[in-house]
Amino acid sequence: MKDKHPNNKENTPEGMEALSRHLKEQSMNLDDFLSEEEWQKFLQQRPSAHHNEEEETSYHQVYRASLGRTKRKKAIISGSAAIAILVIIISSLYYMSGNHNSPVTQIAAFTYKNISANPEQLSLPDRSVIFLYPGSEIKYQPDYNSSHRQVSLSGKAVFTVAPKAGLPFTVYCQSIATTALGTKFQVDGQTTDPRVHLYEGKIVIRRIQDSTIKRYPVIGETIAFIEKENKFYTVTSKAPQTLANIPGRQANNTGIAGRNKSPGDNEDNAIYRKPVRNYLNFSNKKLSTVFDYLARQYKVEIHYPTELAEATNVMFSIDASQPIDRILDNICQTTGMTLKQSGDKVFTISK
């Protein structure tokens, strides 16, 4: 480039034009010559003796060619960086949005797990009743019964649904969702292939990820969803035999749900007779309220972290026949707390 610089007296205007064309065509090497700052410095420091109209024109041809290409190169780099940042932001938002197929499992404010050896009866805010089997767990959101009635089930339970116009009742279990308006049915997720048995009313069972795959069982029918085949199958029209083993409940000899033996005495009534056991039911109560009630009922002292207990809402169905130490131990296991007993009458609960 030095050989083609205007300070060399042997250069001509034609040579400067050639250099200008060279710079415009070789945009990848512009930064190897002079940057915008270097051009400005060079133009300001030139001896005044060299200032004439011809040289000024020649210098600025080269300067504009170099400066224009450099700016375009910077613009391309800046634009590419902006696009890359935008792609990262969009990808992050998409990743954080997650899967919304089962909304109950994403924000579950109320959780209850049956850690006892016997089935437990629970009441929901809409007066629907859940008969929860041992080891099973339910979850639902704070706005249950206001904008929706959706429950997530892990395990096995029988649902007696209270009718409510405009708010269908839906149970999510494994890969299926069972929806009803007012009915009685059982959902069993303890097996590899989840199954649903209908006792009364009408329900629709669908796959969570594909609502076009669905079944409408009739009363007394048990439907199983085979995950590998992506299909629903009718398993049996008999009532599940396990219900006959529920304490305080009976099943007639026919085993056909909904078949009347006599007016007002059908199999549903026999199966769902009120339990003989006495239960203490706490529905969406503060944990502090539960502890205070148990302390009065069993005449013991229960010390607990006040702030945490005041801020925690729970739903419990407690077998009243159990001793107080067993009841408190079950509550602590469910809420993630620890229990320490001092003598027969003093219990200390901590996080």
> pLDDT of 95-153, one tens digit each?
454 444 455 444 546 889 898 888 898 888 888 999 999 999 999 988 898 888 999 99
Q: Is the pLDDT score of 213 beyond 50? A: yes
Name every residue whose Cβ is closer than 8 Å to that of residue 219 and which is 6 or more positions away in sequence.
198, 199, 200, 201, 257, 258
Between 253 and 299, the more confident residue is 299
Q: What is the pLDDT of residues 299-310, one digit of tens each?
A: 999 999 988 888
- Mind listing the domains of the chain with CATH numbers? 2-97 (no CATH), 103-235 (2.60.120.1440), 279-350 (3.55.50.30)
Closest CA to 194 of 173, 211, 216, 171: 173
Closest CA to 66 of 28, 113, 101, 34: 34
Q: Is the pLDDT score of 15 beyond 70? A: no
How many whole angstroms separate alpha carbon 325 and alpha carbon 289?
A: 17
Phi, psi of 198 (to 5 degrees): -100, 125
Supply the pLDDT for residue 304: 92
Supply the pLDDT for residue 273: 35
Q: Which residues of 316-326 are buried (b: 16+ CB within 10 A; e: fewer)?
A: bbbbeebebee
Max Cα distance, the chain (Å): 123
How many whole angstroms separate alpha carbon 55 and alpha carbon 322?
A: 105
Facing residues of 310 across strands? none
Q: What is the mean pLDDT of residues 192-216?
A: 89
What residue type is assigned to position 257 of the chain?
A: A
